[in-house]
Chains A and B, each alone.
Chain A
Amino acid sequence: MRVVIAEDQALLREGLRRLFEDAGHEVVAAVDNADRLRGAVSQHEPDLAVVDVRMPPTHTDEGMRAARWIRDAHPQVGVFILSQHIETSGAVGLVSQGGFGYFLKDRVLEVGEFLEAAQRVARGGSALDPRVVASLVGGRASDGLGGLTEREREVLSLMAQGLTNRAIATRLVLTERTVEGHVRSMLMKLDLPEGDGGHRRVLAVLAYLRAADARW
């Protein structure tokens, strides 16, 4: 996969480059601000853009704005946002559209998980940091999830992270069939439509969680 990296801190930028290259991916550009990111994305049309949320000049949400721009200008490019802190409102909305990932920065240290998620996003799937999911599932929405079994809850969380049934099965050491059963019963309990197993599922789950968020 061809990757563009936008990260203003040189050390981390080079670390990310090496991380991708070691895994056999091609880093076509590594830039340090949002304008150069736009240029690089337009020029290289990569599979994935890994973007730091905060970049010069204001260090607030340059990365997020650039992500939205890529979304509009180059919808086929997957965007992976790396953030310093848990931010649910903006990120969750984007994640649920697919082709989008949102991780806290230190998550990249779980190299395997990160690369797997990055590839998922590049293919048009979703990835949401487990801690963000936890804050959604564990927080105010917990009431609505009261009817779910422990296992269903686990499946829901992994689904919200963007994992496929197969990935969930691997993660939970279950058969894919069992996972499918949990998913079906969970979606039914939450009164959600059964998806095709792709990011639309994630969308449904996240929409549910956000609606629960809004209720509280």
Chain B
Amino acid sequence: MAIILVAGTSTTVFELTSSTIETSWEQLIYPLVVLMLTAVGVVLATRRKDNPIGWLLLLEGVVVVASGVAVDYAHYGLVDDPGSLPGASLAALYDQATWPLLFAPLAAIAYAFPDGRLPSPGWRRVAFAAACVCALAVLLGFFGPRGLDDPYDAVASPLPALPKAIFLPLYVLASVGLVAALIGAALAMRARMKRATGIERQQIKLLAYAATLIPGAVAVGWAESFITGNADAAATVALVIALIAIPLAIGIAIMRYRLYEVDRIINRTLVYVTLTVLLGGTYAVVSLSLGVVLGRGSTLATATATLAVALLFGTLRARVQRVVDRRFNRARYEGLRRVERHLVDLRAGRSAPEQTQAVLADALADRSLELLLWLPDSKEYVDAEGRVAAVDTGDERHVTPVRRGELQLAAVRHDPALSDQPDLLESVINAAGLAIEIARLRAEVQRRLAEVRESRARIVTAGYEERRRLERDLHDGAQQRLVSIGLAIRFVQGQLVSDRPGDIGAQLDETVVEVTRTIEELREMARGVRPACLDDGLAPALHELASRSPLPTEVHATGERFPEPIEAAAYFVASEALTNSVKHARASRVTVSAERSDGTLVLRIADDGVGGAVAGERSGLAGITDRVAALGGSVSLSSPRGAGTAVVAELPCAS
């Protein structure tokens, strides 16, 4: 590619500028090329002062201009108006001798692209040898034995000629040397390409891509001459594009402007060129073969061919893209395949959306990769498990947002090196879009669920708090007040005794009895709301509960304390289960046990009754079960017919 670039550009420039028969196209090309070289050269020389490539481009411009001036000067001085200009023959000789200079700066650029330094110190000798060979070739041009070439072969060379015996071996040496120097330039680029990474690689790729426009232009020229009989308009346009593209590519590469589009441009070019050739071929084959069958100029043949092309387009493009990826972009190909497998597994249920992060890490070969899922409601990023994740972790990793249309889905935090392969990154992320969206939705659901769980636990806890407050109010407020009233009545009664005992005294006695009953009822109510003995812990409360049970009830309870809502929930489970045993089980005894096991309070209430109990939706146990579940626990009922009933509640109490 480098050879093509250097040789192609040089010879084209050489031919175009030295040609004396200038068409209107060529008149346009010449200043355009010079302008391009100079403009890019000036930009690079001023913006990248320490990189000699800008200066080399300017030098190339100067050489081209000098060559052009020499050509015109010689033509005018020797042909148009012979003898009118001094040194016209020298100008002609200059033009003839300095052709190697036209591509010397370009070759130098190839040696030193893109940083302006040789690939390695070892290349210094090669570059020096190349410079020497170039100088030798120029010198031989000035002192050649043949004098001036056509159309000035009648004019004598103004410089002395070397004897053929000396000239010829030197000429052979110079010619071979020049070819070697060009090969050297190509090898230098190849060597650099091989070990280049990141930006440098992109720079070289860009230049190589531009350089392929020259064989492209040549192909266009061939095609044009094949079709029209001579290569002119189309070939020239293609060439102009190529000649403008190369310095432009050099400039863009060195200025590092949107370098990362290169891969995509190259990739798409390859795909569409191949596609065009294949579809064109298909069209030609179909229309020709059908034309033979149906007769020349058949509209049916044309229509069928068009249809075939149209039908082929979609599938063929995907195929070609795949082949191009496999051949030229292995990482992208493998990455996309990995993501596709994941999507298939996802649909088949073999893989979980939560694994998408691992799949992306795999597909992009970046173990540190993190997938941060965006929750629009809470405006924060979370990981696949719904944990809040900070986007700015302060390390040097990059964050690439993932969008689907206007919708922000997620962000991928990855190795900065991946930013050097935007095509890979973007296409893999796009391919994984569906999986990412599913993972995001799942995370969102998880998070909502967690929120609901938390709020449910809060509500239940608040309920217990409320019960405690209510119980306090009943005991310390209403009950005390009633006792005070009773005492006041007793006081009045005491006053009465002295002067008028009898009926009134008996009535007051009854009133006090009423007050006492009211207090009794209040106390029972308060106990139902929340037994005060829970203040002393679960074990005393369970003992108290058992002591009130009409069934012999054995209690084995740990003396440990647990969080208040847990103790309350456990107490109410036991209370409900005991009530059921008394009411329905026809049991003769009940065992209640409560112990801590692996951060869980395990409460078990078992009777020796008839069993066959069913946990109905409207049973008291169902309500308790809800409260236990709200605290993250569970209640299970085991009641085989004839073998007793066991209720087991497990309440998380990790402290």
Using CB atoms and an 8 Å cutoff, list the residues of chain A in contact with chain B: 9, 11-12, 15-16, 18-19, 22, 54, 59-61, 84-90, 104-106, 108-109, 111, 135-136, 139-140, 143, 213, 215-216
A136-B484 contact, Cβ under 8 Å, with A84-B479, A106-B519, A109-B490: no
B198 at the interface (CB under 8 A from A): no
The B interface is mostly helix, strand or loop, or mixed, namely helix
- Residues A15 and B484 in contact, CB atoms below 8 Å apart: yes
Interface residues of B in 499-542 (CB under 8 A from A): 512, 515-516, 519-520, 523, 526-527, 531-533, 535-536, 540
Interface pick from B1-9, B151-159, B547-555 = B547-555
The interface centre, meaning the residue of A12, A22, A104, A143 with most chain B CB atoms within 10 A of its CB, is A12
Decide: B476 and A59 in contact? CB cutoff 8 A.
yes
From the candidates A18, A89, A105, name the one contacting B540 in the complex (CB within 8 A): A89
Kindly list chain A residues whose C-beta atoms are within 8 Å of the C-beta of B486.
106, 108-109
B482 at the interface (CB under 8 A from A): yes
Q: Does B546 make an interface contact (CB < 8 A)?
A: yes
Known contacts: A9-B476, A12-B480, A109-B487. The answer to whether A84 contacts B536 by CB under 8 A is: no
Total residues of chain B contacting the partner, CB 8 A: 39
- What is the bound-complex CA distance between A73 and B536, given in angstroms? 24
Contacts of A89 in B (CB 8 A): 533, 536, 540, 543-544
Bound CA span A135–B531, Å: 15
Determine whether the beta carbon of A84 is less than 8 Å from that of B523: yes
Contact of A54 with B483 in the complex, beta carbons under 8 Å: no
Report the bound CA distance from A90 to B533 in whole Å.
10
Does A109 lie within 8 Å of B491, measured CB to CB?
no
Residues of A within 8 A of B544 (CB): 86-89
Query: What residues on A are CB-neighbors of B487 within 8 Å?
Result: 12, 15-16, 18-19, 108-109
Chain B residue with Cβ nearest A213:
B547
B475 at the A interface (CB under 8 A): yes
Q: Closest CB-CB distance, A201 to chain B, in whole Å?
A: 22
Q: How far is the CA of A24 from the CA of B480 in the complex (A)?
A: 24
Min CB–CB distance B592 → chain A (angstroms): 10
* 6 more CB-based (< 8 A) A-B contacts, given A84-B475, A85-B475, A106-B516: A12-B487, A84-B479, A106-B479, A111-B490, A140-B549, A213-B547
Which residues of the other chain, B, contact A90 by a CB distance below 8 angstroms?
A: 536
List B contacts of A18 (CB < 8 A): 487, 491
* A59 near B472: Cβ-Cβ < 8 Å: yes
Query: Quick one: given A9-B480, A9-B484, A12-B483, are A87 and B533 in contact (CB under 8 Å)?
Result: yes
**B516 adjacent to A140 (CB under 8 Å):** no
Nearest CB of chain A from residue B560's CB, rounded to whole Å: 16
Knowing A61-B535, A87-B532 touch, does A139 contact B547 (C-beta < 8 A)? yes
Bound-state CA distance A139–B512 (Å) is 28
Contacts of B515 in A (CB 8 A): 106, 109
B47 in the interface (beta carbon within 8 A)? no
Look across to chain B and name the residue whose beta carbon is closest to the beta carbon of A10.
Answer: B484
Q: Does B481 contact A (CB under 8 A)?
A: yes
- 3 shortest interchain CB distances as A-B pairs: A15-B487, A84-B475, A109-B486
Secondary structure at the A interface, as helix, strand, loop or mixed, is helix
B82 adjacent to chain A (CB < 8 Å): no
- A sample of 6 cross-chain residue pairs with beta-carbon separation below 8 angstroms, ordered by A number, consists of A85-B533, A106-B486, A108-B486, A139-B548, A140-B546, A140-B553
- The answer to whether A213 touches B543 (Cβ under 8 A) is yes
Given A15-B491, A84-B532, verify A216-B554 contact (CB < 8 Å). yes
Q: Tell me the complex Cα distance, A28–B476, Å.
A: 25
B488 within 8 A of A: yes
Please tell me if B494 contacts chain A, counting CB pairs below 8 Å. Answer: yes
Q: How far does the Cβ of B575 sit from chain A's closest Cβ, in whole Å? A: 15
Residues of chain A within 8 A (CB-CB) of B536 are 61, 87, 89-90
What distance in Å separates the Cβ of B409 from its nearest Cβ neighbour in chain A? 53
A54 to B535, CA, bound (A): 11
Q: Are A135 and B547 interface neighbours, CB within 8 A?
A: yes
Say yes or no: B535 contacts A105, CB within 8 Å: no
A84 and B480: CB pair below 8 A? yes
Chain B neighbourhood of A12, CB < 8 A: 480, 483-484, 487
A213 proximity list for chain B (CB < 8 A): 543, 547
Q: How far is the CB of A118 from chain B (nearest CB, A)?
A: 14
B residues 48-103 in Cβ contact with A at 8 Å = none
When distances are taken between beta carbons in the complex, the residues of chain B under 8 Å from A108 are 483, 486-487
Query: A7 CB to closest chain B CB, in angstroms?
Result: 8
**A-chain residues with CB within 8 Å of residue B547 when the two chains form the complex:** 88, 135-136, 139-140, 213
Interface pair B553/A216, CB less than 8 Å apart: yes
Report yes or no: A109 in contact with B553, Cβ–Cβ below 8 A.
no
Given contacts A22-B494, A59-B472, A216-B553, A106 and B482 within 8 Å (CB-CB): yes
Q: How far is the CA of A15 from the CA of B482 in the complex (A)?
A: 11
Residue in chain A with minimal CB distance to B474: A84
Encoded as 1 (CB less than 8 Å from any A CB) or 0, chain B from 137 to 170 comes to 0000000000000000000000000000000000
Closest to B491 in A: A18
Give the docked Cα–Cα distance between A164 and B544 (Å). 28
Complex: A102 Cα to B516 Cα, angstroms: 17
Instruction: Find the A residue at minimum CB distance from B520.
Output: A106
Report the minimum CB–CB distance from A105 to chain B (whole Å).
5
Determine the distance from Cα of A215 to Cα of B484 in the docked complex, in whole angstroms.
39
> Do B490 and A19 have beta carbons less than 8 Å apart?
yes
Pick from A54, A86, A109, A140: contact of B552, CB under 8 Å: A140
CB of B521, distance to nearest CB on chain A (Å) = 11
A106 to B485, CA, bound (A): 10
Provide the bound-state CA to CA distance between A109 and B516, in Å: 8
Contact of A106 among B483, B494, B535, B549 (CB under 8 A): B483
Whole-angstrom CA separation of A87 from B483 in the bound complex: 19
B513 to chain A, nearest CB (A): 9
- Chain A residues contacting B532 (CB-CB under 8 Å) are 84-85, 87
Contacts of B555 in A (CB 8 A): 216
One of B488, B512, B548, B554 near A15 (C-beta < 8 A): B488
Residues on B with C-beta less than 8 A from A111 are 490
Evaluate whether A109 and B483 lie within 8 angstroms (CB atoms) in the complex, with A140-B549, A140-B553 already known: yes
Q: Closest CB of chain A to B444's CB: distance in Å?
A: 43
**Which residues of chain A have C-beta atoms less than 8 A from B546's C-beta?**
139-140, 216
**B-chain residues with CB within 8 Å of residue A85 when the two chains form the complex:** 475, 523, 526-527, 531-533
> Bound state CA distance, A213 and B547, in angstroms?
7
CB distance from A211 to the nearest CB of B (A): 13
Bound-state CA distance A70–B360 (Å) is: 73
Residues of A within 8 A of B472 (CB): 59
User: Which residues of the partner chain B approach A84 to less than 8 Å between Cβ atoms?
Assistant: 475-476, 479-480, 523, 526, 532
A89 to B543 alpha-carbon distance, docked (Å): 8
Residue in chain A with minimal CB distance to B543: A89
Nearest-CB distance from B338 to chain A (Å)?
63
CA distance A85 to B516 in the complex (A): 13
B515 CB to nearest chain A CB (Å): 7
Which residue on A lies nearest to B484, using beta carbons?
Answer: A11
Complex CA–CA separation, A216 to B512 (angstroms): 37
Across-interface contacts of B484 in A (CB, < 8 A)? 9, 11-12, 15
CA distance A108 to B526 in the complex (A): 20
Which residue of A has the minimal Cβ distance to B495? A22
Using CB atoms, name the residue of chain A closest to B517.
Answer: A106
